[in-house]
Amino acid sequence: MSALLAGMALAPCATGAAFADDAIGRASRTLHAWAPRILDAGAMLERGMQGSAPAGTRAVLLRSIAWLEIACGAPGEAAVAWSRVQAEAERRGDVRLALSALQQQTEFALILGRYAEAEAHARRLLDDARASDDSGFRASALDYAAVLARRRGELEAAAQLQRQALELRRQRADPAAIRRSLTNLGVVRRDQGDFAGALALHLEAMRLGESRDDAVDAGVYRSIALLYREVDDPEQADAFFRRALDAERAHPDPISLAATLGSYATLLNDHGSAGRALAMARQALALDTVLGNRPHIGLERVQIARALLDLGRLDEAQAEVDEALQIGSALRQREILGSALLLQGMLDQRAGRLDAAAEALDRAIGLLDAARLMPQLIEACRLRGALAEARGDYRLALVYERRHDELRQNLLGVRSGQRLATLRAQYESDAAAQRIRMLTLDNEVKALKLREQTLLRNLGLFGSALLGALALVLAGRYRATRRLHRDLALKHAEVERQRGSLQAANERLGAQATELYQAAISDALTGVYNRGHVLRQAETLIEQRNRDGGDFSVLMIDFDHFKRINDERGHLFGDTVLTAGTQAIRQWLEPGDLLGRLGGEEFLVVLDGRDETAATALAERLREHVSTALARFAPAGGAYTISIGVASLRACDPPSLRGLLGAADAAVYDAKTAGRNRVSVARYARN
């Protein structure tokens, strides 16, 4: 039935033919033509059998009608049919059939977005399964409860429920169900930000299927692909999406296939493959339209609109955005609404409707921030800042530009940490597999040694008893011993190769960890420390100086007229000026001094152990040196300069990082007000 439904959903979509072979296509067309007639005949037969059907016959008929409702693309009617199956099963006392029907009702309530109904069914399923002592249905009920908790944002409760379901399935020793629980728990761990734990669970689920020569569920590969997409590793994500689609071909499941196609479309849109993303998203939409899965339909409309927007088909994109907004509003789903409003803002901006674009982007920013969808939120802030600048509101444009920079730097730092955690989990998994192989080899070596000892002992016994056959026995045992020694040598060589591989893996992980740490604390453009790292270092040093009473000063540096440089000569030229300026500053700093980028054209120099006088003298030297270094970039008769604000910890009241930065920022403002290209010492006031 699942294969028929997958073929039916893909039949209307031309690109779906890659997954539906001729047999499935013929079956789906036949089912489309005959299913309504079969349903009508079944309903008539059911009415005729009221009260006179043999035991079990009516339940079988009702269950067949429920499956046919699914095949006809009527999930709501299927849910009603399953409720009738449950009532009939309870009337006959068939506990397992009643539990199965209740499980199907819970599944379809989730698909239709009826979360209150799904929660009531899941609670009833758990209570009835406990009463009948059926651990399999108890695990299913815990699964559904965990899904509902995750959609409410209660991730710790979801993880606890998934762990209980996993424990029950381990007790039942059901490999397919164990894989499903491992995958579901891995998804929750990914949402919690535990990427190493999530990857370990997904890999365990994958190895469990491969070790039993069993078909690995496509959901396992899909979950691993989504994990690699989250840590911005598109090559690995694409490879696992392809494996998921191969698994879908082997074992068609319409719900799983729709989820795989929709998720793959998101990855393709992220990396500019709009044509392929459009084809994938439309296949997923065809499936979910048949299934009636409204939350997924809304998300797929968003991906179709993204692809159409990239392809320049704006009218079609607008129609998809309208559909997504309608579904998101009905379901109150922030992810659908926020993403659709972001696309609406882009469409309005392209059409010149700047007021409408600003309104759509403001709503999108609020929803995306609440849903913590960082990549979309960063893009919305960038577009909102550009829109404010186009309308002449430079103050608001600066606010959104700074927020965009901060969010982007935070995302780079978070993804670096996530990437490191994923690499560590992958390494630990590979190391565990290598240890298992080495233990297996060691066991084989020991077994060979034991055989050798047994053979040698038998040589002595047979030699004393059968002197006449000694020559033949010795010759045979000699050849066997040589073979054993040769096998031992080969096994020892394999062990040494595995040890070498493990050592090389350790060295690669160390090098990757160092690179990722440097990337996480450095500014990608200039190579100096990023905002988060330099402020953390400054905070630590201030705490030390407040304890020992030592000197501490900061220089706030701002490149003069930098926005005009970007506007007149382009952002790439502006980046070159920033890079050359920071290199000039670094040449005059001492080994213990710190230089970091606060954002845009603002930089901070931390001077530990220097008072205000020494800091001011250094600031003057930096100002002159940077002006000289940037002269080669300036136009004829012009100059590129910097303004510097100086603040000292001992003169600041209270002596804190916040107060120190505020004083230095005010000093920079004084320098710019006084004409720029100068050093200004902070005028301190109690904060």
Closest Cα partner for 232 from 195, 259, 205, 260? 195
Please name the amino acid found at residue 321. Answer: V
570 with 669, same domain?
A: yes
Domain with 487, as residue range(s), is 427-521
545 with 672, same domain?
A: yes
| Residue 481 included in any domain | yes
Residue 429 has a pLDDT of 60
| Helix, strand, coil content of the chain in percent (nearest 5) | 80, 5, 15
Domain count for the chain, please give it: 2
| Residue 588 included in any domain | yes
454 with 565, same domain?
A: no
Compute how many other C-beta atoms are within 10 angstroms of the C-beta atom of residue 380: 30
Give the mean pLDDT of 414-433. Answer: 56
Report CA 49 to chain centroid distance, whole Å: 53
Instruction: Tell me: pLDDT of 10 over 90.
Output: no
600 with 667, same domain?
A: yes
HSE value, Cβ hemisphere, 13 Å, CA-based, for 683: 5
| Residue 577 included in any domain | yes
Dump pLDDT digits (tens) for 116-166: 888 899 898 889 889 888 888 898 999 889 888 877 768 888 889 988 988
Domain final residue, candidates 521, 541, 570: 521
Please name the amino acid found at residue 114. Answer: R
Domain final residue, candidates 521, 539, 572: 521
Domain final residue, candidates 495, 521, 547: 521
| Residue 124 included in any domain | no
435 with 459, same domain?
A: yes
585 with 664, same domain?
A: yes
| Residue 344 included in any domain | no
| Three-state DSSP class for residue 647 | strand
Dump pLDDT digits (tens) for 47-65: 554 554 454 566 666 666 6
DSSP 414-474: HHHHHHHHHHHHHHHHHHHHHHHHHHHHHHHHHHHHHHHHHHHHHHHHHHHH-GGGHHHHH
Q: What is the CATH number of the domain that holds 625?
A: 3.30.70.270
Residue 259 has a pLDDT of 87
Task: Indicate if the alpha-carbon torsion angle 239, 241, 244, 245 is positive or negative.
Answer: negative
Task: Give the CA distances from residue 76 to residues 45, 561, 676, in Å, rounded to whole numbers and listed in that order.
Answer: 22, 63, 70
| Three-state DSSP class for residue 554 | strand
| Residue 515 included in any domain | yes
Q: Quickly state the pLDDT bin for 463 (edges 50, 70, 90).
A: low
What percentage of the chain reaches a pLDDT higher than 90? 32
546 with 674, same domain?
A: yes
Alpha helix positions (H), 72-217: 75-92, 95-111, 115-131, 135-151, 155-172, 175-192, 195-211
| Residue 257 included in any domain | no
| Residue 473 included in any domain | yes
| Three-state DSSP class for residue 646 | strand
591 with 664, same domain?
A: yes
Residues 225, 241: contact at Cβ < 8 Å? yes
DSSP 557: E
580 with 644, same domain?
A: yes
Compute how many other C-beta atoms are within 10 angstroms of the C-beta atom of residue 627: 18
Instruction: Tell me: pLDDT of 499 over 70.
Output: yes
Spatial separation of the C-alpha atoms in residues 215 and 217, rounded to whole Å: 6
Give the mean pLDDT of 493-513. Answer: 78
546 with 496, same domain?
A: no
| Bridge partner residues of 681 (DSSP) | 646
Please name the amino acid found at residue 683. Answer: R
Residues 463, 473: contact at Cβ < 8 Å? yes
Dump pLDDT digits (tens) for 240-259: 889 888 888 887 778 888 88
Which residues, in sequence order, are CB contacts of 153 under 8 Å at separation 6+?
none
Closest Cα partner for 534 from 669, 657, 625, 369? 657
537 with 516, same domain?
A: no
DSSP 14: G
Residue 548 has a pLDDT of 93
Q: Quickly state the pLDDT bin for 415 (edges 50, 70, 90).
A: low
504 with 579, same domain?
A: no
Q: What is the CA radius of gyration of the chain?
A: 34
